Amino acid sequence: MIKRTYNIEFGQLRDHSVDYIQGILKDTRTTTILTMKNLSIHELNWQYKEGWNTIGALLSHIVAIDNLFRIEYIKGRKLTDEENTELTPAIYMGEYLPQLINQQPLEYYIAQLTSSGEQLLNALNNITHEDFTRRIEDYDEETGCNLAWVLYHKAEDEIYHRGQISMIRKLYKDNRN
């Protein structure tokens, strides 16, 4: 059974700031998985209106962002053509939304969230303070960003989408009555 720990452990990695962001990412993912409890396949794929995101699509997006950020920002390389083809629908959703409504059960999404989260955290194990704070030419033309901010933004994005999921669940329940 997955459970929140309510503590961030320090001293696991070379840099305590990386320990801190790992703790944030772990808790964010644990909370996301815990909020998915008892979702049916129908609820995962239900749309309030045509063109609206589904819970399953949002979960696929979270997984795709894990992979994108791990590859581009931690590993420091561009996506391969194969990775780009695989991840694009879930990264951008929108016009790709029909591809993301795939009738997968909750266990599929939990396995995907667990795997992508573990891969992201493992990729951080050898990050140095210099890697964590170096300028990355992205997000802001003038200032760029750094890996610390990218990972904060990754957690922020997941929490934002978890809010959308909560709203979709409420709309689903309201429309079932």
The domains of the chain are located at: 16-176
Q: Name the DSSP class of 11.
A: S
Residues 6+ apart with CB under 8 A from 115: none
> Of 163, 50, 60, which is closest to residue 109 (Cα–Cα)?
60
> pLDDT tens digits for 111-120?
999 999 999 9
Q: Is the pLDDT at 177 greater than 70, yes or no?
A: no
Here the tokens at position 52 are 């609206």
Here the tokens at position 99 are 């591809």
Q: Which CATH superfamily is domain 16-176 in?
A: dinb family like domain (1.20.120.450)
Question: What DSSP element (H or E) covers 19?
Answer: helix 16-35
Average pLDDT over residues 129-158: 96
Share of the chain above pLDDT 90, in %: 94
Residues 6+ apart with CB under 8 A from 61: 53, 90, 91, 93, 161
> pLDDT tens digits for 79-132?
999 999 999 999 999 999 999 999 999 999 999 999 999 999 999 998 999 999
Residues 6+ apart with CB under 8 A from 19: 8, 9, 10, 11, 12, 13
Mean pLDDT of the chain: 95
CA angle, 121 then 63 then 28, to 5°: 55
Question: What DSSP element (H or E) covers 136?
Answer: strand 135-136
> What's the confidence (pLDDT) of residue 1?
78
> How many other C-beta atoms can be found within 10 angstroms of the C-beta atom of residue 54?
22
CA separation (Å) from 49 to 9, 92, 141? 43, 18, 36
